Amino acid sequence: MAKGRGGFGGGMPGNMSNMLKQAQRMQRQMEEKQKELEEKEYTAAAGGGAVEATVTGKKVLTRLTISPDAVDPDDVEMLQDMVIAAVNGALGQAEEESDALMRNISSGLNLNGLPF
| DSSP bridge partners of 53 | 44, 64
pTM, entire model: 0.68
pLDDT tens, per residue, the chain with 116 residues: 445 454 454 555 678 888 888 888 888 888 888 888 888 999 999 999 999 999 999 999 999 999 999 999 999 999 999 999 999 999 999 999 988 888 887 776 655 555 54
What is the phi-psi region of residue 49: left when phi exceeds 0, alpha when psi lies from -120 to 50, beta otherwise?
A: left
Question: What pLDDT does 83 receive?
Answer: 96
Question: What pLDDT does 101 receive?
Answer: 83
Q: Report the distance separating Cα 92 and Cα 21, nearest Å.
A: 33
Question: What pLDDT does 106 receive?
Answer: 74
Question: What pLDDT does 40 receive?
Answer: 93
Question: What pLDDT does 15 receive?
Answer: 84
**Residues 21, 14: contact at Cβ < 8 Å?**
no
Q: Report the distance separating Cα 44 and Cα 53, nearest Å.
A: 6
Question: What pLDDT does 109 receive?
Answer: 61
- Contacts of residue 56, Cβ cutoff 8 Å, sequence gap at least 6: 38, 39, 40, 41, 42, 62, 94
